[in-house]
Structure 1
């Protein structure tokens, strides 16, 4: 069955799994802090949006007659469910919950950044950018939302033409501002752990009615 699958499909599948692993860490962290009431929030959102992907090889799970559609659905389920869980946790635990979630995102980003440092060449900002995209979920490869504006020895700057996540966040009732902050925290932590000499920053600018995000990874 695996002959129908290309390396890019396994690459994307792994990124979805990383996203779901973060969700598990969120649940575990909140249970340790606030108790087993968190289970009801998790269960309600799994029932509403769908289960996490089972622990099995991709070629045993995927619908090979609809590879693209299967992966796209798993992205939508993973993003929406995680955002909905966070929205419910923040509604219940307020600022304490946001603070805890930010720490969990930071720890997860650092752990995966360290993993990247051990597995890949991360000696330049471009290297870190390329490796970041092995871990962070950012739509389907065909979405191609990132565009490199400049790449030099000491920095890389790239823009994001549209946000692939906000629709999921809105559907889940999550505050996009908080979700952007969590995502930024994760990337900052990942970059710093992948190469402590580098730093990540994000800004935005209006282009007509649209908001364009500008990202930079640079040497400190």
Structure 2
């Protein structure tokens, strides 16, 4: 490990890689829809940059600007996804169901990957594992505020939204993104430990709760 890089930087790097896996699934959907993927990809990448290179983090990161490099990559990956989703929805009004299926499947795959490491027997375990995958800006953004952290319940609220500007720029309602992500989380939790469930409560409260 580089002397300049810590675990948190590799943690963020892996989250970006997983997000880019979802992007590739969405691009595959665009291809199946008969869209001109090559030209669309070039257009999107000209605006937001390319995916991460298939190299180790220490080989590609700007060591003189670690925070800025990671922040830019997070923004770039989410902006590309928003652009792809906008184009797909414009091309096929029924594509929402297909996009939801992608996020459902990716939530299950992520949970299966996570279960290889440890058994997830508490709400806290599950909440922490969710945050090993989803992107919510940088840790310093402090997006989520946890109010309860117990064995059978974790409850939190979103303090700020770091996604709306990105999705609005592409003309997509950020609520569409949150719906896709909620589908991902619900299926992730179900696959990780079916004794728990993910709930979106009124007034912006979210819970990982053990079933009765």
Unaligned stretches of 5+ in structure 2? none
Count of aligned pairs: 211
Structure 1 residue 128: Cα displacement: 0.2
Native 8 Å contact 1:112 1:190 kept in 2 = yes
Structure 1 residue 175: Cα displacement: 1.8
SS at match of 2:183: helix
Structure 1 residue 172: Cα displacement: 2.0
SS at match of 2:175: helix
Aligned residue for 2:194? 196
Native 8 Å contact 1:122 1:128 kept in 2 = yes
Structure 1 residue 129: Cα displacement: 0.2
Aligned residue for 2:64? 65
Q: Encode CA deviations 1:89-144: one digit per residue, 9 max, x unaligned.
A: 101111x2111000001000110011112213310111000111111111111111
SS at match of 1:157: strand
SS at match of 1:101: helix
Query: So what's the TM-score if we normalise by structure 1?
Result: 0.91
Structure 1 CA distance for aligned equivalents of residues 160 and 82 of structure 2: 18
Native 8 Å contact 1:15 1:137 kept in 2 = yes
Unaligned stretches of 5+ in structure 1? 206-212
Aligned residue for 2:184? 186
Structure 1 residue 36: Cα displacement: 4.5
Q: Encode CA deviations 1:4-45: one digit per residue, 9 max, x unaligned.
A: 11110000011011101110011113323x125344333321
Native 8 Å contact 1:202 1:215 kept in 2 = yes
Q: Does 1:23 align with 2:14?
A: no
Query: So what's the TM-score if we normalise by structure 2?
Result: 0.94
Native 8 Å contact 2:167 2:173 kept in 1 = yes
Structure 2 CA distance for aligned equivalents of residues 49 and 162 of structure 1: 23
Q: Encode CA deviations 1:44-73: one digit per residue, 9 max, x unaligned.
A: 212221111111000000000000000000
Native 8 Å contact 1:120 1:131 kept in 2 = no
Structure 1 residue 204: Cα displacement: 4.3
Aligned residue for 1:214? 205
Structure 2 CA distance for aligned equivalents of residues 50 and 154 of structure 1: 42
Question: CA RMSD, aligned part only?
Answer: 1.5
Aligned residue for 1:2? 2
Q: Encode CA deviations 1:153-212: one digit per residue, 9 max, x unaligned.
A: 32211111111111111122212221111111111111111111111011342xxxxxxx
Q: Classify 1:107/1:3 alpha carbon distance in 2 versus 1 (closer, same or farther; 3 Å).
A: same
Aligned residue for 2:117? 119
Structure 1 residue 78: Cα displacement: 0.7
Structure 1 CA distance for aligned equivalents of residues 161 and 119 of structure 2: 28
Aligned residue for 1:13? 13
Matches within 5 A, 1:1-220: 2-32=2-32, 34-94=33-93, 96-205=94-203, 213-220=204-211
